[in-house]
A and B are shown apart, each in its own frame.
Chain A
Amino acid sequence: MSLDAYRIETEPFFHAVGNEIAQFEAAHADRLPMMLKGPTGCGKTRFIEHMAWRLGKPLVTVSCHEDMTASDLVGRYLLEAEGTVWQDGPLTRAVREGAICYLDEIVEARQDTTVVIHSLTDDRRILPLEKKGELVTAHPDFHLVISYNPGYQSVLKDLKESTKQRFCAIDFTYPDAATEAAIVARESGVDAATAAILIRIAARSRNLKGSGLDEGASTRMVINAGKLMARGVTLGEACRIALVQPITDDPDIRDALSNAIAACA
């Protein structure tokens, strides 16, 4: 079984804001477990795809969810006609064959699940498969990366201290206006002037964070608005369906946001 399907062939576009590429490369050289922190839609996933491409490593992504159990990560026995067959989970495959394993939104998973990564994140670099009675030693290329959105979870859902302390972390935020406009222009195909207006509009929405919105419009949302405009949708409509309507149902906040957006152009 090869991980070729998990290799990224073409360069995913990523615009570095700071020194994060060099930082990640350094951490990767020592296989230090990494944590990517930041609000939703600011480019965490894109970053790891870009790094996997840059480093030429396969990337195994797992989106964590509430009902995820340890065997969803590690693997389980399956029944087949001629008997039982062990099926490696995504984490085990990455460990065996040497891939970057990216656990997206790790805190969504139950806490007992997150504990299985502990033995992989210290100098042991092993994964015990209890069911199978096997101890998998990690391939030298195996690298564990998780993402973590600190603002989004409640106090109840936080990483255990013992988990947190095993990671290095890179903070992601929305890039500055000029950079973000360049990203939006490149990704959506709108011209630079329109992209600048869209970024100004996004800032209006981010100003409301904590004053009516839980989170402002992400770069991803702005790109979506740009894509709509590139298809001929007017600015006002694109903003309404891509930036206002998805983000809140509160009529007062919608009104305020729509009017602030109207002021931008």
Chain B
Amino acid sequence: MAGGSAGRSGKGGYLKLVVGGGASEGGAAQGGSPATAAAGSDPTAIDPRAAGFPESHAAPWLRACRKLEGAGYGDPVVRAYRRASLACAPLVGPGAAVDLADAVSAVTIKAGREAGQGLSDAAVNAAHRAKTPQLFLSWVNLMQRLAALAPESIGAVLERTDLLLGELGVSGLDSWAMAGIRAGGNDPARRRAFFTMADPEAERWFHRETGEVAFLEVERRMRAYLASLFDVHLPLIEAPAHLPPARRRRTSFNPAMIQVPGAYPGYRGEQAVDIYRAALAHVGAHLRYSRERFPVGALKPVQVAVVSLIEDARVETLAIREFPGLLRVWLPFHIAQSTGVTTAPSLFARLARALIDPDFTDIDGWVRKGRDLFQAHQGALEDPAMSRHIGNLLGNDLGQMRVQFNAKSHIVEPPYRDDNAGLWHFDDDMMEEAESELATEAFSLREQDGDTDPPDREREEETRPDEPMGRAAPDETAAEREGWLLGRYPEYDYVSGMEREEWARVLGFDPPDGDGARADAVLARRRVEVDRISALVRSSRVSRARRMKRQPEGETLDLDACIEAMTDLRGGDSPDPRVYQTMQRRDRDLSVQVLLDVSQSTADRLPGRGDTILDMEREATLMLAHAMAAMNDPFAIAAFASNGREEVRYLPIKRFEEPFDRACRGRLFGLQAGLSTRMGAALRHGARDLAGAGTYRRLLMVVTDGEPADIDCPDATYLVEDARRAVQSIAHSGIDVFCIALGDADEQVLGRVFGRRNMARIDKISRLPEKLPLVYLRMTA
């Protein structure tokens, strides 16, 4: 590769020779130059000026070569550098080419000789792509960083340099690589999976960086579009990563869900949105006009394919009758031309176009026959049997025409059409299995879908489908893995300034039962504080201010009362003195979600005392809950802890509609400390539950002992910034977030996350009554 590029760049006569081990490669042909004869492993034997380096950089280049030589990385590394620097110099300047040596050295130290050599080889491609020394050097710099962060993966990235830089550019590659580092965390195998593109996450980020529209970005729009157009309210799910790529390229549907490709490669910006729209309109047409599935029976694959094609055209024609505008949605994707070889894929695409495009005529007899047959059945379009009939005829014709049909490589065209799996009834167990698996997944997703299906927690309780995911942390025991998927939430990466979609996975876990009697004991022991807190909660008025008329005092006169008082006076009666009006908060219209941090650190004992932070969390929560329950305030309690981004555990202690009974208190006292604190994801999930509460104010109260942290986040700032972002967006949606910091929590950090005014620190449980008014003060301010 390097030799080829060198040859290309030599056209200006700038590059005179290729040195070192290049003898057997492209440069050998130019070997007439005097310097070549001396080319050996000793760089001093080469005259750099003859090699194309200007005078000013000759000495540094020689020094760089000698330094590499002396470092003992072995001959291939040095030779590759020499080759690459000479090739790069004319493209990005001799300075950058000399600087490359330091990077080669650094990469070799971090990631081994092969990587060092790979860097030089890739540098030529990079130089072609980068064109300017600045961009080239930032690429070199990036590779150097990557070698330090992911030494096992640098090779894979270097191999793909041409593709990556071609599609992403240097800055795109930078974001993509950093996404990979985050995705893999400290796990070299996962990092490698990302950088070799084996991890679907890599692809998703890749699409994102290339400007291809990821399905997630348009999901909500598309769901609403489908609902609006065809009254179809099925969940749309992105094709799961464990499916083979061939099954992820097209939409697919069954009665329970619609599976959608994560991206349509090659379609960018508006075009990509258009193809999603076309694809969902097509699926919608199937769902409206295709009835029972066709039995496959003894049909040959080619017949199945042709029947499907006719059925596609049938439902589209019906849909266009009802919604004429859909023709404009679908037509742009039919680009088949009436020329070229008559292979099966080409004929299929042409027939598809002939059946929908009124202005398209084809010279091919088979396509014309298909069109004529279809036209002849215009009156019977309502009946799916016509698709079968025409499809069978045309399928037979193809056989007689000896057109080869490869069922394995067959893919439906144009790309907006679905894979037709939803049209057929396969006897194959495999398909059924795969389908039911998808259906399960769809089900678990639908459970979560607050928009189309209000949270029905009872049902969730009963079914609680285990989510089929192979990505859970490996060190879990089976017994611990009984979590059910509650949702995926974005995480904010402060480095790139972007939200990572669906980054953290929140799993629900059943909290272990504990001894409810302990709660009673605490309430008895803390009688004084309990009474004070109850009184505080009772007296706090959190609701919309209301106008109170006919008050004995107030800030304005109540005109009605004044007039009445005057009429009474004139009529000789004694007037009512209550002639003022005032605005007051009278009722309580507040719902509270309490989130308890139960990470490992909460098992620490409080300084100088016997009880732990978790004990204190429990007691504080118990007292508050007791008071709120007495006032009938809607509130919920949940605990959270995390084990990497794939497993943010969420343990519901009390749900909004449950009474705060002994079982709840038992669960509260059964909590165990363990794992880490991924606060952002827990906040986002808690806020989602709270968002449905129809009260005037909604409060998300976090009780924690310290800053956010997790095992897969070596960068301490990352989760802090994410939590801060979560708090901001939650506050933006009208939910108040308040933090109660226990133990020796870092107030600086929590202040950054929640804002100084939105947190209170409590070092002794007896001080809770003092601090609680702060919360209510914030709510009524």
Contact = CB atoms under 8 A, between A and B. Distances in A.
A, B bound: yes
A84 interface: yes
Contact of A262 (B227, B325, B571, B694): B325
Contacts of B230: 207
Name the residue among A77, A78, A253, A256 with the largest chain B CB count within 10 angstroms. A256
Contacts of A69: 549, 560
Contacts of A252: 220-221, 224
Given A71-B560, A78-B563, A211-B451, A265 B224 contact: no
Interface string A64-81: 000101010000111100
Interface in A53-106: 67, 69, 71, 76-79, 83-84
Contact of B567 (A67, A79, A211): A79
A263 B563 contact: no
B221 A256 contact: yes
Given A207-B229, A263-B281, A263-B323, A256 B222 contact: yes
Given A76-B563, A78-B563, A259-B277, A253 B324 contact: no
A129 interface: no
B571 A84 contact: yes
A177 to B, nearest CB: 12
Contacts of A5: none
Nearest to A67: B547
A67 B583 CA distance: 13
Interface string B288-329: 000000000000000000000000000000000011111011
Given A78-B563, A79-B563, A84-B567, A207 B228 contact: yes
Given A77-B563, A255-B221, A264 B324 contact: yes
B563 A253 contact: no
A154 interface: yes
Nearest to A203: B231
Contacts of B222: 256
B452 interface: yes
Interface string B533-555: 00000000000000101000000
B578 to A, nearest CB: 15
A160 B230 CA distance: 38
A64 to B, nearest CB: 16
A212 B231 CA distance: 13
Contacts of A156: 694
B228 A205 contact: yes
Contacts of B231: 207
B732 to A, nearest CB: 15
Interface in A145-189: 154-156
A257 interface: yes
Interface string B215-234: 00000111111011111010
Nearest to A210: B452
A131 B223 CA distance: 58
B566 interface: yes
Given A154-B694, A156-B694, A263-B323, A204 B229 contact: yes
B227 A207 contact: yes
A204 B228 contact: yes
B215 to A, nearest CB: 14
A256 B567 contact: no
A253 B224 contact: yes
Q: SS class of chain A's interface: helix, strand, loop or mixed?
A: mixed
Contacts, number: 85
A207 B233 CA distance: 9
Highest count of chain B CB atoms <10 Å: which of A78, A154, A207, A264: A207
Contacts of B466: none
A74 B227 CA distance: 47
B570 interface: yes
Contacts of B277: 259
A260 interface: yes
A265 B566 contact: no
B227 A211 contact: yes
Contacts of B531: none
Contacts of A131: 564
B224 A212 contact: yes
A263 B326 contact: yes
A7 B447 CA distance: 55
Nearest to A207: B231
Contacts of A253: 221, 224
- B227, B228, B231: which has the most chain A beta carbons within 10 Å? B228
Contacts of A67: 547
B563 A212 contact: no
A32 interface: no
Interface string A114-147: 0000000000000000010000000000000000
A184 B312 CA distance: 35
Contacts of B322: 200
A211 B326 contact: no
B32 to A, nearest CB: 66
Contact of A211 (B223, B325, B328): B223
A208 B221 contact: no
Given A155-B694, A263-B325, A208 B563 contact: no
A259 B225 contact: yes
A93 to B, nearest CB: 19
Given A207-B229, A211-B233, A263-B229, A257 B567 contact: no
Which of A67, A83, A211, A262 gathers the greatest number of chain B CB atoms within 10 Å? A211
Interface in B138-182: none
Contacts of A155: 694
Interface of A: 67, 69, 71, 76-79, 83-84, 131, 154-156, 200, 204-205, 207-208, 210-212, 252-253, 255-257, 259-260, 262-265
Given A208-B227, A256-B224, 16 more contacts: A67-B547, A69-B549, A69-B560, A76-B564, A131-B564, A156-B694, A204-B228, A204-B229, A205-B228, A211-B224, A252-B220, A256-B227, A259-B277, A259-B329, A265-B324, A265-B325
6 contacts: A67-B547, A155-B694, A204-B228, A212-B224, A255-B225, A263-B326
Smallest CB-CB A-B distances: 3 pairs: A256-B224, A263-B325, A84-B567
